[in-house]
Amino acid sequence: MTEVHTIDLNFQDTPGVIASYVFDTGDGLAVVDTGPTSTLPALEEGLHAFGAELRDLRHLLLTHIHFDHAGAAGTLLERLPKAKVYVHERGAPHLARPEKLVASATQIYGDEMDRLWGEMRPIDPDRMKVLAGGEFWRTGDAEVRALYTPGHAVHHLAYQVGDDLYVGDVGGVRLAAAQTSRAPTPPPDIDLEIWRDSVATLRDLDARTLHLAHFGSYPHEARHWDGLLEKMDLDAGWVRDGLEAGRGFESISAEVTERLLDELGQEGADLPARYEFACPPWMSVQGLMRYWTRKAARSGTPGS
């Protein structure tokens, strides 16, 4: 069984929010999701904790290209001439030319961009292994399977390596064993129907352990997936009800945030504060409002 090391990236000096996972392939170390450039010192420190160095990384497996998962990939490759990055084909062009990603994020975060995420450096396409999902390959002693798992993002992948299943954000945000996983739903790609299909694909795999970027490792069992789908429907329903009542973003966001954090607080006193770092509720509301609005436009039925 492959030993998996969880590295807490201590995002914004908050533990238990963003994780990278590292394992030895027999042909160098693989890291699943690099995190943002702002947390590179924590990644390096985490490697040192089990006797490794940054230069030992050879394989950067990205579940998707959002800043909190892939922001440091370009900077790492500049420091690691023998390493390569693995990414979905719909994300690869944005890694090669990240200007649009940066501009879009800057509209949201403004002057906080550098503090939150750091620089996102472009990646030479020759340094990428571009995936569609469905690929299976051997790297050293490790057999890796890539699975296309959209719903959170159109370029989302999960990776299976033996008994370990690395699910990025499609497995939800779960910050403690007692917490029910919640779907992170920021714009622009949220599609709940496709997300449910991705869950159906993953839950039937022969694996023992789920590794979530936000945050930690849990048994691969029905309880996790059932809870995720239940809360996904609940959160989406809150937003739909607000839209059907003719309310705007500020009103819906305030109510959903209050309800969400109250539920989390019942599962663990420290969960609400950590959750706001891992997945700001207002961003999830934005994504769900976009989802319901587009769905209504396609069907011609408000709130459908």
What local confidence, expressed as pLDDT, does residue 304 receive? 45
Residues 233, 239, 243, 244, Cα dihedral to 10°: 40
**Cα separation, 170 vs 302, whole angstroms:** 27
Whole-structure pTM over 0.85, yes or no? Answer: yes
The domains of the chain are located at 4-229, 233-299
Q: Encoding tokens for residue 267?
A: 């599962």
Instruction: Read off the pLDDT of residues 63-120 as tens digits, 9 standing for 90 and up.
Output: 999 999 999 999 999 999 999 999 999 999 999 998 888 887 887 777 787 788 888 8
Neighbours of 51 (CB within 10 A): 7
Domain 4-229 has CATH 3.60.15.10: yes
% of the chain at pLDDT higher than 90: 87
- pLDDT at residue number 217: 98
